[in-house]
Structure 1
Amino acid sequence: MSRYLRTVPFLLLPAVLFLTAGLVSCSQYSTKPVSKGYHNLTAHFNAYVIARDQINQAEQIIFKARQENYNQLMPILLPVDSMGMQPVKPQIDDAIKKASIIPERHQNSKWLDDAYVLIGRARLIKQDLPNAIEVFKYVNTKGTNEDDKHTALVGLMRAYVEGNDYTNALNVAEYLRNQPLNKLNTRDFYLTKAYLHERQGEYAVAAGILDATFPMLKKGESTARLHLIAGQLYDLIGQPTKAVDHYRQVLKSRPTYDQSFYANLYAIQSNGLTGDQKRIAQSAETFENLLNDRKNVDLKDKVYFTMGLLEARSGRVDKAIKYYSQSIQAAGTNTTQVPYTYLEIGKLYFEKKSDYNHAKVYYDSALALMPKQSPDYAALLNRKKILDDFVLYKTTIQTEDSLLALSKLDAAALDRVFDKTIAQREKEDKAQAALAQQIIDQATRGGGSSMPGATNSNLQPAERWVLYNPVALSQGKQEFAVRWGNRPLEDNWRRSNKETSGAMAADNSPLNGASPANSVNPNAPLQPADATVGGIPVALNSPAATQKAQKDAMRAKVPFSKEAQAMANQRIENALYKLGKLYKFELNQPADAIPTFEQLLTRYPNTLQKPEVYYLLHLSNEQLGKTSPWKDKLLAEYPNTSYARLTGKVAAQTTDSEAQALKTYTTIYELYKANNNVEALTRADAALGSFAGSQLEDKLALLRLMLVGKVKSVDDYRQAMNEFIRDYPGSQLLPRVKEMQAAADLLTAKRK
C-alpha cells in the first residue's frame, strides 16, 4: 500500500505538465490554434455577447422612450441626446467595460474589431463624439475584417453627422459608396446617408435613398416610422402623390396607434394637394369618424388643425381660421400643437389678409409657446420683430395724429372728448367684468372655460396656471380695483396726479402722514391731501375725483405748445419713413410703400430723407412695372447724391476712359492741395457720377468727403462719411474712413 501511494505523484505529473503547457500556450499574443480557440470562446461569451446585448437593449429603450414631434419633419435617425440616454447610462458604461476586456485580455481573438465597434457605438450613444470618432478610425486603420471596417466607417459617418461635420461625413459616404458592403452595412449606410441629406435640407435626395432602403427592412414600428418620414419628405418637395403612397405603407407596417393616426391625417392633407376630389370628398367622413372615436379624445386638436389646413389650401381663409380656433380650444392642457396652430393663423392674417396687427398677436402667442429648438423658431422670431416694428410705427402715427387733432379743439370740445373716452372705458370695463363673472359661474357649475388653454382641462381651478384660472383671474382684478381703483392703461398709472413732482409725491407718502396703510388696503396708493372739482372739495375716492384725475392724465398728453407739436410731428415723420421702408424691404409690399412715402413727402416736404425717399419711390414703382417721375426728380434735384448714382443712369452713359478719369481726378486733387476747396468740391460733385464703375470712384468719393469736412457743416461731414461706408463696403479705403469717423465722434464727445 505504501508503495502504491509513492507512485501517485509520478502518475499525476504528466497531467500537471500538460495543463501547464496549455496555460502557457493560451497567451493572448499566441497564434497557436489552442490559444486562439480559447480566447475566441472566452472573448465571445464572456465579453462581446454581454456588451452587444446591453447596447442593443439600451438603443431599444431609447427608441421606445422617444418623444416624437409630429408637427415637424421627424429625423430619420434619432439624434444623439445626452439627456435622453441618462436612463441607460449605467448599462452603456458597463457595456464599454465588458467590450474593453477583449482588447485588454484577448488580443489574438477574432472578436477584437467587433469589440472596438461596440465601444464606438457606446461612445456615440453617450454623445462622446471625439472618442467615438477615434475608435471608428482605429478600426478602419488597424482592423483585419473588411465587414467590421465597413461597419466602423458607417459609425464614423454617423458621428460626423451628429457633430455637424457634413464635409467629412460626405467624404466617408463617397468612399463607402464604392465598397462591397454586406446587407446589414448597406442598410445602415443608406439610413445614415439619408439622415445626412435630411440634416442638410436635401429632402429629395433623402427621400430617394429611403425608397432604396425599404426592401431591406422588416415590418414593424421603426419601418412604419420611416415610411411616415418618407411621406413628410415627399410632401416638402411637392410630390403629394408619392407622399400618400408612403402614408398607406405606414398602415401596412404594423404601426403604433399614433403612427396610424398621423398617417391618416397626413394622407388627407396630401390628398388636398393632389386635387383628388374623390378622396377630398371622403375627408369629411374621415374627420367625423376621427372626432367621434373615443381613443382620439386627446388628439382632437390635431384633427381640427388638419381640417383648417385643408380649408386654407382651398383658399377659404375664414373657415380655416375657425377650425384652427377650434383646434386651440380642444387642446386642453396638452399645448404641443398650439404654437403651430397660432403660427398658421398668423400666416393667414399676414399673407392672405395683410392684417399685420392680428398677425402680430398670433405670432406673439406662437413664439411664447414654441420650443426654441424648433426649426420654425428663428424665422418666427424674425417675423415677430418685423411686426413689432410695424405696429409701433402705425400706433405712433395714429396716436400722434389724434393728439395733434385734440390740441386744436377748444376747452369745452376737448372736455366732451374726454367724457366720451372715459364713458367708453367704463363700458368696456363693465363688459370685461360681466365676462369674468360668466367665467366664474361656468367654473362654479363645473362647465368648461372658453379661454384658450383651459378648455377640456381636467384640473381643478385652483390647480390651473393663474392666467388659465378664471376664478383667480377675477379675484386678481377685484384686488387690483380695491387697491388702485379704476386706472387707465398708461405710464405712471400708480400715481393719481401725473403732474405731481417727485418731491410732492414724497411729501404725500404714508411715511409723512398721507393715506396710511390699513387692514383693508395694506399698501394704500399715493393720493394728494385733498381734491376739488370746480372749486368744490370732494372725497378722494369719489367718482368725480377719479374722473378728474383721468381727465388730467389725458390732458397732460395733448401737445398744446409749439415745441410739443414739433416733437409730435417729428415722431410722425420718422414713423412714416420707417414704415415705408418696412413695407418695401421687410414685407415686400411696394404697393403699400408708395402711398406711405408719398404721404411723408406731402406732410413733410423738407424732410432730410427726401433723396432716399425719391429713390425708394422709383424702386417701388419699378417693381410694380409702373412708370413714375421719381427718378427724374432725384436726378434733377439731387444729382450728386449716392442715390442718384445708384439709379445707374450716368454709369450707363459713361464713355470716358480711365485715362480721362485720372486726368479729372488729378485736376480736383491739385485744387485741393492749393486750398481751393470750394472749387474742388464743386468739381468733385459734378464728376462723381461720371466715375461710376471706374477704379478711381472710391478715391474721388474719399477726396470729396475730405472737401465736405473743410467746406460744409459737421452734420454734412458725418452724412458724407455714412454714405461712403454704405456705398463702398469693399473699398480698401474703408478703414481710413472709419478712423475719420471715430476721430469725429471723439472730438464731439470732448466738446460736450
Structure 2
Amino acid sequence: MRKLIPYVIFLALSSCSQYNTGLLSRSWHNMNSRFNALLISREDIDVAKEYIAAHYTDNYEAVLPVYRVIDSTRLDTAKFYLIDAIKKSSIIAEKHSNSKYLDEAYLLIGEARILKGEFENAIETYKYLNSVSSSEQMKTEALTQMMRAYIELGDYKNADQLSVLLKSRTLTKRSRQTYLLNMAYYNQVRGEKAVTAVLLEEALKGMKKGAERARYHYILGQLYNELNQVTLARRNFRMVIKNKPEYDLVFNARLGLMMTESLANNTDLLFGKMLEDRKNQDLKHKIYYKMGETARRKKRTEEAIGYYGKSASEAGNDALSKGIAYKAIGDLYLDDLADYEHAAVYYDSTVITLPKAYLARTDINDRAMVLNEFIRYKKIYDLEDSLQRMAALSPEALDQKLEQSVLARRAELKKSREVQNEAAPVQAAATTGKKWRLYDAKEIVKEKNEFVRIWGNRVLEDNWRRREKSATSFVFSETERRMVEQPVVQPVISNAVSTQISEEENERKAVEDEIKEFKKRIPVTKIQLIASKRKQEEAAFRIARIYKLKFKDEQKANAAFRKFLDDFPKSSYEPEVLYYLALAQENPLDNAYATRLVQNYPNTSFGRQIRKGTVTMTHDREVEALELYKNAYRLYDEGKMTEVISALEEGMNEYVGSQIEDKMALLRIFALGRAGLRDEYYIALSDFIRSYPASDLLPKAKEMLAVLN
C-alpha cells in the first residue's frame, strides 16, 4: 500500500496541470481562479474606482462628462491597485489557462488598463480576447468595452464601426448598460446633447440606486436644462437628491433646481437661506456664482458683476472656482456690455488663476490674446491721435495742456494708491468677514517686511521719511526737556517747513521731467507726423478687423471700416476694407463698395473674389485660359519676366474663376522673384495665401514666404 502512495500523489498532481482537461483539473483551477486571483482583481478595481471618484474634482459649471476624465499622471494610490489587479488577473492566464474564468480575467485586465489610461494596451487585450474566446457573450463584452477605449483615444471611426456591429449582437443586461453609457459618452464628446440625454435615460432604467445613478441624473438635469426642457431638468435634479449621494452633488442639484425656477419667482430668499446654512459655509462662492447667473438672466448687469465678484473673493484657494468667476465677469463685459477694455482685464485674471489643465480644454487663452491685441491697438490709436492733436497746438497752449494732463494723471494715480492701500482692506474685511489687517498678525509681519524693503530698517521717530538727520539731535530727560523746551521749538518748525518745501520742489521737478519726456513723443516734423499717421492707420485697420473676424460684431466692424475709408484714403488696406464692406451689404456683388473695389483695384485678390461671383467659366474659356498659361510658361523659360508678368496679370483678370487661376498666380510670383521685384513678390505671396486657401500649391507658397521672412 505504501508503495502506491507516490503513484497516487503523482497522479493527483499531474491531473491538476493547467493543460489537463479532466474534471478534477478544471475544478481545481476554477476554484483557484475564482476565489484567489479573480476575487482580488475585482476588489482592486472596485477600490481603484472608489479612490478615483473620491479624488476627482467635478466642474459643476459645465455639463459633467459621462465618464470621468482619465489623467494617468494623477492616479496616485489608484494606480497601485490597478497594477495589482492586472498582475492577479494575469496569474489566471499564466497558471490556470484551462479555467472557465480566463475570459473574465482578460476583461478585468482590459478594464484596469483603461482606468490607468493605457488605451492602446486595453484595445490589444480586447482584440486578443475577441479572437481566442469561444464564448460569443465574452466577445460581445470585449467589443463593448473596447468601444470606450477608442472614444478616449478620439478614434471615432473605429468607435462608430463598433457601435454598428454591437447593434446586431445579443447583449446581456450588464453589457447593454455598458453599451448605452458608451454611446452616451460617444455622442457627448461629439456635442450631440439630445441623443446623449436619450441614451442616458435608457441606461438608467437598469441601474441600481446609489451615487453613480445620482451622478447620471445630475448630468441629465444639466443636459435638459441646456436643451430648454426645464420640467425634465427639474425632475432629474430631484432624483439626484432621492439617490442620497455625497453632499456636494446634493448641494449642486439644489442649485440646479433654483436655477430652473421661473424668473418671475423671487429666488433671493432661497439663496439667502442657503447662505445661512452652516453646511454651506465653504460653498458660499458657488451660491454667489449662481446668484450672479440669475441676475444676469434678469438683465441686472451691475448686480451680476457684484455677485460674481463675491464668488471670486469667497473662493479662497479654489483656483478653478475663482477663475470661472473672473471668466463670468469677463464674458459679461464682452458679450453683454461690449466693454472690451474691462473684459480684457478679467480675462487676464482668468488665465492667471485657472489651472493649466482646465485652460488647455478651453478657448479662454485665445480670447484673452484677442482682447489684449485689441486693447494694444486701441491704445496705439488713441495715443497717436492725442499726439497729433497736441502737435497742432501753439507752444503756449501745448505747455498748458501737457501740465494739466500730467497733474491730472498724477493726482489720479495718488488717489488710486490711497484707495488701494487704505480703503480697500477695511472694505474687504467688512464684506468677507475677515480680520482687519491691523488685527491680523500675519498681515502685520507682511506689511512690516514690505516697509523695510522700501524704506530700510528705520527707527520709530518723527520725520522718519527724511534720509538725513540733524547731527545735533539729543534725547533729553523730562527735567532737561522743560529747561530747553522753548529753544527747541524753532528748529523743529524750520525742519518741517524745509521738508515741505523740499517735497514740493521734488513734485514740481517730477512734473517738469514728465512733460519733457512727453514732448519728445510729439510728432513735430513732417516725417514724424507721417510715421504717426502710419501707426494710427495700422491700428485702425486691426481694430476694425478684430471687430469683424474675432468679436463678430458686424455693426461696430462696419462703422470702423467706413471711418477708416474716411480717415485714411488711398491706404494699402483699402481693397480689403472695401471687400468686407461689400460682403456686409444685402447684395454683396452689386453695391457701391463692390463697384469701387472692382474699378479701382481689379488686380487684387479681393477684386477678383468679387468678380468671381459675376463670371461664369465655360469649357471654351477654360481652354483659352490654359493656352494663355502655356504661353506664359514658355516666356518664363525664355527668361522674359516682364512679358510673363504682363500676360499673367491680363489672364488672371480675364479668366477670373478659372480652374488654373492659382497656377497663374504662383507663376506670376516666380516671375516677380526672378525679376528682382522684392516688394511686389512679398505682397503677391501674402495675397496668394489669403486668396487660395484650398489650393494644392498653398504649401509651396507658405514655404516661399517663410524663406523670404
**For this structure pair, what is the TM-score category when the shorter chain's length is used for normalisation?**
0.7 to 0.9
Among 280, 283, 288, the alignment partner of 1:299 is: 283
Aligned to 1:362: 346
Aligned to 2:380: 396
Alignment partners' CA distance in 2, 1:216 and 1:638: 68
Deviation by residue 1:62-98 (Cα, 9 ceiling, x = unmatched): 2223222212222222233324432133333333333
**Residues 47 and 101 of structure 1 are in contact (CA less than 8 Å); yes or no, is this contact kept in structure 2?**
yes
Deviation by residue 1:174-225 (Cα, 9 ceiling, x = unmatched): 3333222222222222223322322333322222111001121121111111
> 2:524 matched to 1:560?
yes
Aligned to 1:351: 335
Aligned to 1:157: 147
Aligned to 2:247: 257
Deviation by residue 1:123-149 (Cα, 9 ceiling, x = unmatched): 333333333322222222222344433
3-state SS of paired residue (1:217): coil
Amino acid paired to 1:90: F
Shift of residue 42, structure 1, vs aligned partner: 2.6
Aligned to 1:636: 599
**Residues 367 and 377 of structure 1 are in contact (CA less than 8 Å); yes or no, is this contact kept in structure 2?**
no
> 2:66 matched to 1:76?
yes
Alignment partners' CA distance in 2, 1:556 and 1:429: 22
Aligned to 1:489: none
Amino acid paired to 1:566: I
Structure 2 runs not aligned, ≥5 long: 458-466, 470-500
Alignment partners' CA distance in 1, 2:504 and 2:302: 49
Aligned to 2:90: 100
Any residues of structure 2 matched to 1:486-635 within 5 Å, and which?
Answer: 542-622=506-586, 628-635=591-598
Aligned to 1:138: 128
Alignment partners' CA distance in 1, 2:68 and 2:547: 42
Alignment partners' CA distance in 1, 2:658 and 2:670: 20
Distance 1:418 1:473, change over 3 A: farther
Shift of residue 403, structure 1, vs aligned partner: 1.3
What TM-score, normalized by structure 2, do the two folds share?
A: 0.83
Among 599, 608, 612, the alignment partner of 1:645 is: 608
Deviation by residue 1:479-514 (Cα, 9 ceiling, x = unmatched): 55899xxxxxxxxxxxxxxxxxxxxxxxxxxxxxxx
Deviation by residue 1:608-652 (Cα, 9 ceiling, x = unmatched): 2222222222223448x9985222222222233332221136743
> 2:216 matched to 1:226?
yes
Distance 1:693 1:472, change over 3 A: same
Among 31, 35, 43, the alignment partner of 1:45 is: 35
Structure 1 runs not aligned, ≥5 long: 1-9, 484-517, 521-536, 747-752
Any residues of structure 2 matched to 1:329-348 within 5 Å, and which?
Answer: 329-348=313-332
Among 23, 44, 49, the alignment partner of 1:33 is: 23
- Tell me which moved more, 319-328 or 392-401: 319-328
Aligned to 2:272: 288
> 2:429 matched to 1:448?
yes
**Residues 654 and 690 of structure 1 are in contact (CA less than 8 Å); yes or no, is this contact kept in structure 2?**
no
**Residues 119 and 149 of structure 2 are in contact (CA less than 8 Å); yes or no, is this contact kept in structure 1?**
yes
**Residues 582 and 589 of structure 2 are in contact (CA less than 8 Å); yes or no, is this contact kept in structure 1?**
no
Any residues of structure 2 matched to 1:159-198 within 5 Å, and which?
Answer: 159-198=149-188
**Residues 41 and 85 of structure 2 are in contact (CA less than 8 Å); yes or no, is this contact kept in structure 1?**
yes
Distance 1:664 1:19, change over 3 A: closer
Alignment partners' CA distance in 1, 2:617 and 2:131: 64
**Residues 41 and 86 of structure 2 are in contact (CA less than 8 Å); yes or no, is this contact kept in structure 1?**
yes
Among 410, 419, 431, the alignment partner of 1:426 is: 410
Aligned to 1:523: none
Deviation by residue 1:100-137 (Cα, 9 ceiling, x = unmatched): 33222222222222222223333333333333322222
Counting matched residue pairs gives 668
Distance 1:290 1:732, change over 3 A: closer
Distance 1:210 1:649, change over 3 A: closer
Alignment partners' CA distance in 1, 2:441 and 2:580: 52
Aligned to 1:206: 196
Alignment partners' CA distance in 1, 2:579 and 2:441: 55
Shift of residue 15, structure 1, vs aligned partner: 5.3
Among 291, 307, 312, the alignment partner of 2:296 is: 312
- Tell me which moved more, 593-602 or 649-658: 649-658
Alignment partners' CA distance in 2, 1:253 and 1:689: 71
Aligned to 2:106: 116
**Residues 668 and 684 of structure 1 are in contact (CA less than 8 Å); yes or no, is this contact kept in structure 2?**
yes
Amino acid paired to 2:401: V
Alignment partners' CA distance in 1, 2:185 and 2:267: 32
Alignment partners' CA distance in 2, 1:564 and 1:46: 86
Distance 1:725 1:70, change over 3 A: closer
Alignment partners' CA distance in 2, 1:123 and 1:665: 59
Percentage of matched positions with identical amino acids: 33
Among 237, 240, 251, the alignment partner of 1:247 is: 237
RMSD of the alignment, in Å?
Answer: 3.8
Amino acid paired to 2:554: P
Amino acid paired to 2:11: A
**Residues 615 and 657 of structure 2 are in contact (CA less than 8 Å); yes or no, is this contact kept in structure 1?**
no
Shift of residue 571, structure 1, vs aligned partner: 0.4
Deviation by residue 1:649-679 (Cα, 9 ceiling, x = unmatched): 6743667734555566678789989999878
**Residues 351 and 364 of structure 2 are in contact (CA less than 8 Å); yes or no, is this contact kept in structure 1?**
yes
Distance 1:633 1:710, change over 3 A: farther
What TM-score, normalized by structure 1, do the two folds share?
A: 0.79
Amino acid paired to 1:365: S
Shift of residue 379, structure 1, vs aligned partner: 1.6
Shift of residue 722, structure 1, vs aligned partner: 3.4
Amino acid paired to 2:607: A
Distance 1:174 1:423, change over 3 A: same
**Residues 320 and 355 of structure 2 are in contact (CA less than 8 Å); yes or no, is this contact kept in structure 1?**
no
Aligned to 2:479: none
Distance 1:464 1:257, change over 3 A: farther
Alignment partners' CA distance in 2, 1:163 and 1:665: 47
> 2:382 matched to 1:382?
no
Shift of residue 599, structure 1, vs aligned partner: 2.9
Aligned to 2:47: 57
Shift of residue 399, structure 1, vs aligned partner: 0.5
Shift of residue 391, structure 1, vs aligned partner: 0.9
Shift of residue 607, structure 1, vs aligned partner: 1.8
3-state SS of paired residue (1:216): coil
> 2:687 matched to 1:723?
yes
Deviation by residue 1:339-389 (Cα, 9 ceiling, x = unmatched): 222222222221221111111112111222223333785322222122112
Distance 1:614 1:401, change over 3 A: same
Alignment partners' CA distance in 2, 1:307 and 1:548: 50
3-state SS of paired residue (1:657): helix
Amino acid paired to 1:629: A
Alignment partners' CA distance in 2, 1:52 and 1:232: 32
**Residues 612 and 656 of structure 2 are in contact (CA less than 8 Å); yes or no, is this contact kept in structure 1?**
no
Alignment partners' CA distance in 2, 1:424 and 1:448: 31
3-state SS of paired residue (2:260): helix
Shift of residue 263, structure 1, vs aligned partner: 0.7
Alignment partners' CA distance in 2, 1:190 and 1:461: 60
Shift of residue 721, structure 1, vs aligned partner: 3.9
**Residues 240 and 250 of structure 2 are in contact (CA less than 8 Å); yes or no, is this contact kept in structure 1?**
yes
